[in-house]
Amino acid sequence: MALLYTQIKKTILLLTFTSILMSCHQENKTEAIGDDNPLLATWDTPYGAPPFNLIENRHYLPAIEEAIRIHKAEIESITHNTEAPDFNNTIAALDASGSVLTRVYAVFANLNTAETNADLQLIAQQIAPEITKHNDDIYLNQKLFDRVKRVWDKQLEYKLNIEQTKLLEVKYKAFLRNGAGLNANQKERLRKINGDLAVIALKFGDNVLAETNEYALEITDKKSLAGLPQDAIAAAAEEAKARDKEGSWVFTLQNASVIPFLQYARDRKLREEIWEAYQSRGNNGNAHDNRINIVQLVNLRMERAQLLGYKSHADYVLAERMAKTPETVFKLMDEIWKPALEKAKQEEADIARLLKADTIDGGVQPYDWRYYTEKIRQERYNLDEQELKPYFSLDGVRNGIFLVCDRLYGLKFKQFKDVPVYHKDVTAWEVTDGDGKLLGLLYMDFFPRAGKKGGAWMTSFRKQKTVDGKRTAPIISIVCNFTKPTATTPSLLTFDEASTFFHEFGHALHGLLSNVTYESLSGTSVPTDFVELPSQIMENWAADPQVLKLYAKHYKTGETIPDTLIEKMQAAATFDQGFATVEYLAAAYLDMDYHSLQQPLTQNVMPYEEAGMEKIGLIKSIIPRYRSTYYNHIFSGGYSAGYYSYIWSAVLDTDAFEAFKQTSIFNRQVAASLRTKILERGFTADPATMYKSFRGSDPDIMPLLRKRGLLKEGVRLGDGE
């Protein structure tokens, strides 16, 4: 459950192509530029949405080339302005520049993640270093930085408001953190590092996608399906049919396929086979091996941080996050690790007893955990996830989310079928406020396919901003990989998938409700360890009994989920939370281990990973949620030295939800406070200040520990436990 960091303003802040690249595509230039190129033409579509139905792969390179030319001219105008620098002609002008490039690249970047193909991947590989180069051209432009610094030094003279002050701070620090203060030789080295990082990170993600797509477990003997629920069998038959293997069953490494297999398949050897394929992605010694890529990424990031005056990449990253230092991150994780590991060991002992009863030697293996956990859940709580799924149809969960948003904020959602979409599975929704005012357009894309990366994320095709007093409505998208419908059954979600839907919708609300002036500060443009608060707090409504009675309806009968099932869900709420917390924290420790390095990594990454896990005492039956070679969050996404953010935000979200629990989960006054003090404000103020303004105090870790069942009755953290 991740936010796709399409801070496209930063990522693509400026882009240029080498003469070789331009000549390679010269033959397409005339036919694809101008009115003939839909990416550059006026988008005469509802809400100014991208005209996906008109865009072809050939349009991207020439469109970006032209957008660069426009953007470079805008930067030149700011740099060589003969008027004395001030907030409007320098800082605000910088924020407003590059709108054409931002618009064009948003389409390309999002489709390369959600609906990619070989052509798009090739284009991405070609332009990645050029994106970085032009970004460096801006931040290493001494004349431009001199103007920014003059505004910074004289800011008290301009009588700036709070939002203007924050934008100035963000822009000024961005120049410093991107090398504006380095000497000529250092700047040249920084350019080389940034260019290499861009290419390697892209390659890492492509490798993970290729490894995920290339594996398939084909089953031809129906006996091997023993234990699997009917919907998982039907989905595997549909997958086989799509691969021209009708009559067999195909399971893939997509979570919607592999997780049910690990959870229910009785055949232990087949569970082991698919598990080994899953956990060895990027570590197979083939063309998609990521081990060398990781060493290069870790070392280049460390070198860049030290070049900029920081001890490590983690120190560099965290300086602008709520946590501030690696020591603070480790302190929080250590506080939660001990009780979580203790609980996980108890869970492991329960599984070991079942293995012994099944006369299986060798101890609990990772591919045993989900299978036997499901058996224990059924024994202990009489709760079978398959009993729940009929009450969580995709449409039903979506309607439940809409209802919660209406009850809290008065929001309305209307499907809009005349808006172009990039894939037939994508739906588009008009989002309006209680007074009928347009808030934004929302795309929703739910099912796995070969061209879509795994996981779930929120992104934007257009971020909110205010121009000449008029609010520009954002265009937001949430992308997931949920269980597909079959010929006879709609998409039925596990409760984890339903919670993921609520989570990503929380991110979407952060983007849709944004109401700021400057695009660089809008919506989700906040530190990573604050950005998960709006998403994770939404998950609390997914599991609340009062809310479940409103949206969890049987897909066949329309029957509301019975109280007996809700009671079972509540009784099992902390079940397996040792495992869930430990596998997550192990990945967060791994991230910090890599990015706290102050000397180059010289060893193979797998022994390095294993040593790190041994250091924290991770039991052999659990592996990190993401092993190094397929850890997209930190090596191909925006979470390097930041994967801890989910647990940091979990402290915030459980504490924040207490404000609702103390009164009513649909308290409109509390919701209005959350909206105006956090969701609407983007990064216009310090996150800690915004949180305290909403809650009235700093967050307390105790609600999180209670929620996860990690706190012994009557014991407070720090009492020697």
Residue 51, domain CATH: 1.10.1370.40
586 located within any domain: no
514 located within any domain: yes
Q: What's phi and psi for 476, nearest 5 deg?
A: -110, 150
Give the β-pairing of 465-467 and 457-462: unpaired
The radius of gyration of the chain's CA atoms, rounded to the nearest angstrom, is 25
Q: Which residues contact 597 (CB under 8 A, 6 or more apart)?
A: 298, 302, 312, 313
CA angle, 139 then 145 then 148, to 5°: 120
Q: Are residues 539 and 680 in the same domain?
A: yes
Dist. CA 410–CA 102, nearest whole Å: 31
Dist. CA 145–CA 596, nearest whole Å: 30
Q: Would you state the pLDDT for residue 16?
A: 28
693 located within any domain: yes
Rounded to two decimals, the pTM is 0.91
Q: Are residues 435 and 532 in the same domain?
A: yes
- CA torsion 339→341→342→345, rounded to 10°? 160
Strand partners, 708: none
Helices (DSSP H) in 117-254: which residue ranges?
118-139, 142-153, 155-158, 162-177, 184-214, 230-242
CA angle, 598 then 328 then 182, to 5°: 45
The conformation of residue 696, written as its DSSP 8-state character, comes to: S
Q: Which of 225, 257, 279 is the last residue before a domain boundary?
A: 279
652 located within any domain: yes
Q: Are residues 173 and 222 in the same domain?
A: no
356 located within any domain: no
Q: Are residues 407 and 510 in the same domain?
A: yes
Dist. CA 129–CA 133, nearest whole Å: 6
- The total number of structural domains in the chain stands at 3
User: Which domain range does residue 92 map to?
Assistant: 2-139+141-177
SS3 (DSSP) at 708? coil
244 located within any domain: yes
666 located within any domain: yes
Dist. CA 278–CA 212, nearest whole Å: 8
Q: Are residues 112 and 233 in the same domain?
A: no
Q: Are residues 267 and 168 in the same domain?
A: no
Strand (E) or helix (H) holding 502:
helix 495-512
Q: Which residues contact 275 (CB under 8 A, 6 or more apart)?
A: 262, 366, 367
Q: What's phi and psi for 148, nearest 5 deg?
A: -60, -45
Q: Would you state the pLDDT for residue 127?
A: 84
SS3 (DSSP) at 410? coil
Q: Would you state the pLDDT for residue 65?
A: 86
CA distances from 492 to 23, 374, 487, 495 (A): 50, 18, 13, 10
Dist. CA 276–CA 215, nearest whole Å: 11
Asked if residues 547 and 533 have their Cβ atoms less than 8 Å apart, the reply is no
| Active-site pick, 66, 130, 504, 539 | 504
Residues for the chain: how many in total?
721
Which long-range contacts (C-beta less than 8 Å, at least 24 apart) are formed by 257-263? Answer: 257/232, 257/448, 259/370, 260/228, 260/229, 260/232, 261/217, 261/228, 261/232, 262/367, 262/370, 262/371, 263/370, 263/371, 263/373, 263/374, 263/385
Asked if residues 525 and 490 have their Cβ atoms less than 8 Å apart, the reply is no
Helices 184-214 and 118-139 sit at what angle, rounded to 10 degrees? 160
CA angle, 633 then 592 then 625, to 5°: 50
Residue (of 405, 389, 195) closest to 300 by Cα position = 195
Strand (E) or helix (H) holding 333:
helix 326-357
Q: Are residues 82 and 18 in the same domain?
A: yes
The one-letter code for the residue type at 156 is L
For the chain (length 721 residues), average pLDDT per consecutive 10? Answer: 42 32 32 73 95 96 90 96 97 96 95 95 87 89 97 96 97 97 96 94 96 97 96 95 96 96 98 98 98 98 98 98 97 96 97 96 96 96 93 98 98 96 97 96 96 94 97 98 92 96 98 98 96 97 97 98 96 95 98 98 96 98 98 94 96 96 97 98 97 95 92 40 26
Q: Would you state the pLDDT for residue 129?
A: 80
Dist. CA 51–CA 419, nearest whole Å: 8
Q: Would you state the pLDDT for residue 35?
A: 59
Dist. CA 530–CA 523, nearest whole Å: 12
What are the DSSP calls for 232-282, one per residue? HHHHHHHHHHHTT-BTBEEE-SSHHHHHHHHHH---HHHHHHHHHHHHTTT
Q: Are residues 403 and 265 in the same domain?
A: no
Q: Would you state the pLDDT for residue 715?
A: 33
Q: Would you state the pLDDT for residue 33?
A: 54
> How many Cα atoms sit within 13 Å of 181 on the Cβ side?
10
Dist. CA 206–CA 214, nearest whole Å: 12
Return the structure tokens found at 609. 């990973």
Residue 713 annotated to the active site: no
Asked if residues 314 and 596 have their Cβ atoms less than 8 Å apart, the reply is yes
Dist. CA 609–CA 586, nearest whole Å: 10
- CA torsion 394→396→402→403, rounded to 10°? -160
- CA torsion 605→611→613→618, rounded to 10°? 140
Q: Are residues 131 and 222 in the same domain?
A: no
Q: Are residues 656 and 517 in the same domain?
A: yes
Q: Are residues 250 and 131 in the same domain?
A: no
Q: Would you state the pLDDT for residue 487?
A: 87
- Residue 333's Cα: distance from chain center in Å? 20
Q: Are residues 557 and 676 in the same domain?
A: yes
Dist. CA 621–CA 314, nearest whole Å: 29
Return the structure tokens found at 461. 């095709």
6 located within any domain: yes
